[in-house]
Amino acid sequence: MGAGRSDARVEADYFDGLVASEGEFNPFTDAGWRVLQHRFVELARPRAAMRILDIGCGTGQSRQLYTDYAATYTGVDLSEAALAKTHSRFPDDRWMCCDARELPFEPASFDLVAFSSVLHHIDDFETALREAHRVLVPEGTVFAFDPNLLHPAMALFRSPKSPLYSSKGVSPNEAPLLPRTLRTNFERAGFVDIRQRAQSDIAYREVAPRLLNAGLRLYNLADHWFERIGLGPWFGVFVLTTGTKR
């Protein structure tokens, strides 16, 4: 991390502490991860044998979204504790601690760069997208999934502007994003052929505060029907965005 990246240090400390106390960071059920992978394939249109960079790999849970298409897989994260855990699980992959805004890779090093629920942790995330653009090959793909401010639960409980906002289970710098904000920043970073879709029915394993877990089954069921009745593509809990380097 370079000078002036104190926000990254704060985020790193938060997730180091989370891994130390919980031993893991895995918010979604297996079914939830499968829903995300399905949408990743639909939007990003990955090919076989790609060089994939996963930014925000955490303890390695996001790895499952991408490795079916990877010739090589590189995971980066700010949390050294998370990286130590995932390296012990997958020692044959490459793991690095670095800031998404200062990637230690040469230009045109990857075919696909994924931001695994990480852009909403970065205030100036256009800088991270420009770095992704730099390290991608021409016609390379960028993919991101982030909490959607248009989803009712995200707007009520995870937006710092909401009177019902709770900081429990939320890192210091994170906030859900509007789809149009993501699209605008992808365009400014130089990406074209931008495709976007929101998605509900991504079932959670647990949430914070812990008292809310008593109603988590009901929430997951409601969010399942939110998708089924046709609201998911616009107001789903996560918004998925992909683009192409010209």
Would you state the structure tokens that stand for residue 138, as one six-digit string?
């021409």
Q: Whole-angstrom Cα distance, residue 108 to residue 130?
A: 13
98 belongs to a structural domain = yes
Quick check: is 203 in a domain? Answer: yes
Confidence at 146, pLDDT banded by 50, 70, 90:
very high
Q: Tell me what the mean pLDDT of segment 126-134 comes to.
A: 98
Phi and psi, residue 237, nearest 5°: -65, -30
Asked whether residue 137 is domain-assigned, the answer is yes
DSSP for 159-216 reads -TTSTT---TT--TT---B-HHHHHHHHHHTTEEEEEEEEE----BS--SSGGGGGGH
Q: Is 1 a domain residue?
A: no
Residue 152 placed within a domain: yes
Sign of CA dihedral 26, 27, 28, 29: positive
* Per-residue pLDDT tens digits for 87-121: 999 999 999 999 999 999 999 999 999 999 999 99
What is the number of domains present in the chain? 1
Does 167 reside within a domain? Answer: yes
Q: What is the pLDDT of residue 121?
A: 97
Q: Which residue in 187, 197, 159 sits closest to 175, CA to CA? A: 159
Residue whose pair of structure tokens reads 């994170």 in the numeric block:
174
Task: Please check whether residue 177 lies inside any domain of the structure.
Answer: yes
Q: Which domain does 49 fall in, by range?
A: 6-245
Average pLDDT, the chain: 95
Look at residue 1 in the predicted model and tell me its pLDDT: 37
Whole-model pTM over 0.85: yes
CB 47, CB 106: distance < 8 Å = no
pLDDT surpasses 70 at 3: no
Asked if residue 159 is part of any domain, the answer here is yes
Helix (H) or strand (E) holding 98: none
From 169-173, 198-202, 213-217, the region with the lowest mean pLDDT: 213-217
CATH number (domain holding residue 69): 3.40.50.150
pLDDT digits (tens, 9 = 90+) for 32-65: 999 999 999 999 999 999 999 999 999 999 999 9
Q: Classify 123 as helix, strand or coil.
A: coil
